[in-house]
């Protein structure tokens, strides 16, 4: 029996466009004797559809699209069957009113064959807002090559039941346990599992446990592409019944690949995917920017280029995602901007080959000072004056973005966002925060990798300069500074980032109390200062642009802290 794994990149809500992707994947393999095509979870509507699922007309359109697609596929190849993820309406008035389901298209028609049992509500997930849990595991009896195949069908979370591999497990039945008595020929998992660094290896371990428990091969098909803040890496794979990896599809790329069930035997496998963590991270962020721009109908991007490491990294990612001609940089020096920073920014823009323009803001600052000096509050000083510079820059960038329909990319990092070392309506302006889930120390590490020989293959793929440094040692090695006052350094206001970031990880990603961090050896005063900064900056994060999620705990839809709290 021959399968096709269709690792697809849907646009959420575009039922007809996503159906066309499925058809094109089937057309690609129509003459290859494929019996069954597998697409990802909710492949017809895209994941996560969120409150689009509250539109009742959506399901009439979904039914119409399925009817048309099943007939087209039958005309293409009468012997081809396709598994597609859909949102299936239920009868009655009880809520939730949907199942997260799988249908099979065959012989010009379609029918439901599986429903998801374990519905995640942690982190960015909120599936119980929309879906009911199925009560039973699903087995598809599939006639092929004069044999009746017994195929287990699971959806994403349904295989995440290995407590010794997971930090947490959803309360409920173990879908794999109920399949143990079925003597399956193989198990299929349709997934929409977002990217987190090292998660692809964990997925394979989880699936391997299922293969061993069921003594059958496992076919895992994952969504790929960026949808809002989430990045889906694909990395679909097949395992033999011993849980050994047999095939792995490319990460961060749409792909259709074949698998012959009879050939899945125990044999060594060498992955062709990217195993350098920095390259994986870079490719994830590039895909996130590329798809966010494409799916939101932006053809170009604009960035405020300061000569600092954050804006240098975001600019490099943007060029890799959108191309040289689609990225525009604006330099906005103030009286406190160093000559070195202006030179570094200009040199980087020239090295990347992007259009750039310098717009000094000294005159604008003077104009604001003149206006405000006549108010009863007087001319701003201290932090207010520093923030005014940032807001002037943010206003200029937004005006140009608005005029030219550019996507403004915010350049702040996670460390700054965590402690509020950022300005509302200033450097926080933007349509997308590219590195808002990257701590400052991670920014340093990623830029070191970009400037190393290890990035050569990645540079070639994205048409970046083939040789020499991109970010530059001048930018990478300079002390971090917002340059909003004479000789200002980040370290004037914050602990050194190599001290700050481990504390932030403990507070944000591990949810550790302050006394636990102190017991681990962190300075008491610094821990309490950082914890207070994180809490007090909550109102800023509520007004921040969406950010690309790459960690297990990002600010955004998966971070739900109150603004006002004791």
Residues identified as active-site: 41, 116, 156
Reading across the β-sheet that carries 218-222, which strands appear in turn?
Answer: 138-144, 147-155, 186-191, 218-222, 237-239, 245-248
Query: 260-265: long-range contacts at Cβ-Cβ below 8 A with a sequence spacing of 24 or more?
Result: 260/1, 260/2, 260/3, 261/1, 261/2, 261/3, 261/185, 261/186, 261/217, 262/1, 264/186, 264/217, 264/238, 264/239, 264/240, 265/240
Measured CA to CA in angstroms, residue 328 lies from 104, 391, 458, 477 at distances of 46, 19, 22, 25
Q: Which residues pair with 79 in a beta bridge?
A: none
Q: Which residues contact 363 (CB under 8 A, 6 or more apart)?
A: none
Q: Could you write out the DSSP letters of every residue in 254-309? A: -EEEEEEGGG--S------S---HHHHHHHHHHHHHHHHHHHTT---EEEE--SSH
Return the DSSP state at 511: -
Q: Which residues contact 241 (CB under 8 A, 6 or more apart)?
A: 211, 212, 214, 215, 216, 217, 264
371's tokens: 């206006």
Burial code (b: 16+ CB inside 10 Å, e: under 16) for 359-376 equals eebeebbeebeeeeeeee
Q: What angle do CA 354, 283, 189 make, to 5 degrees?
A: 150
Strand, helix or coil at 460? helix
513's tokens: 């109390």
Q: CA–CA separation, 236 vs 25, rounded Å?
A: 15
């Amino acid at each position: 029996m021959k399968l096709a794994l269709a690792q697809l990149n849907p646009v959420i809500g575009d039922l007809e466009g996503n159906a066309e992707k499925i058809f094109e994947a089937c057309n690609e393999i129509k003459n290859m004797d494929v019996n069954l095509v597998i697409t990802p979870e909710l492949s017809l509507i895209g994941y996560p559809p969120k409150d689009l699922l509250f539109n009742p007309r959506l399901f009439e359109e979904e039914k119409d699209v399925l009817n048309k697609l099943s007939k087209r596929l039958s005309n293409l190849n009468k012997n081809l069957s396709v598994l597609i993820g859909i949102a299936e309406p239920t009868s009655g008035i009880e809520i939730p009113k949907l199942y997260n389901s799988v249908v099979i298209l065959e012989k010009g028609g379609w029918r439901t064959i599986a429903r998801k049992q374990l519905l995640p509500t942690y982190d960015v997930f909120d599936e119980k807002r929309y879906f009911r849990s199925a009560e039973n595991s699903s087995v598809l009896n599939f006639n092929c090559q004069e044999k009746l195949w017994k195929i287990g069908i699971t959806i994403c979370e349904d295989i995440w039941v290995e407590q010794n591999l997971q930090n947490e497990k959803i309360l409920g039945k173990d879908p794999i346990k109920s399949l143990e008595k079925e003597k399956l020929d193989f198990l299929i998992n349709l997934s929409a599992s977002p990217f987190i660094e090292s998660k692809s290896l964990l997925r394979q371990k989880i699936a391997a446990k299922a293969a061993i428990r069921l003594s059958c091969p496992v076919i895992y098909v994952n969504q790929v592409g960026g949808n809002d803040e989430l990045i889906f890496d694909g990395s679909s794979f097949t395992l033999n019944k011993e849980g050994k990896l047999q095939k792995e599809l490319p990460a961060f790329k749409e792909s259709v690949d074949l698998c012959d069930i009879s050939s899945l035997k125990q044999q060594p496998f060498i992955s062709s995917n990217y195993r350098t963590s920095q390259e994986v991270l870079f490719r994830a962020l590039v895909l996130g920017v590329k798809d966010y721009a494409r799916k939101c109908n932006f053809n170009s991007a604009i960035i405020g280029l300061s000569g600092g490491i954050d804006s240098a990294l975001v600019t490099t990612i943007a060029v890799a995602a959108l191309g040289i001609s689609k990225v525009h940089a604006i330099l906005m020096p103030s009286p406190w901007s160093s000559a070195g920073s202006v030179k570094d920014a200009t040199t980087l823009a020239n090295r990347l080959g992007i259009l750039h323009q310098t717009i000094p803001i000294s005159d604008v600052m003077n104009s604001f000072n003149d206006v405000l000096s006549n108010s009863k509050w007087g001319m701003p000083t201290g932090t207010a004056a520093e923030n005014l510079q940032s807001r002037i820059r943010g206003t200029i960038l937004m005006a140009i973005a608005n005029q030219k329909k550019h996507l403004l990319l915010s350049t702040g990092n996670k460390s700054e966002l965590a402690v509020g070392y950022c300005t509302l309506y200033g450097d926080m302006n933007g349509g997308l925060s590219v590195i808002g889930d990257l701590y400052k120390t991670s920014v340093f590490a990623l830029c070191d990798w970009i400037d190393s020989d290890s990035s050569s293959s990645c540079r070639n793929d994205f048409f970046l300069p083939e040789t020499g440094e991109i970010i530059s040692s001048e930018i990478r090695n300079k002390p971090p500074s917002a340059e909003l006052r004479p000789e200002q350094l980040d370290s004037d206001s914050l602990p050194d980032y190599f001290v700050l970031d481990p504390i932030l990880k403990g507070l944000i990603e591990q949810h550790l109390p302050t006394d636990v961090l102190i017991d681990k050896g962190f300075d008491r005063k610094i821990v309490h200062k950082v914890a207070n900064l994180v809490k007090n900056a909550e109102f800023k994060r509520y007004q921040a642009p969406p950010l690309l999620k790459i960690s297990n705990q990002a600010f955004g839809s998966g971070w739900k802290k109150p603004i006002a709290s004791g």
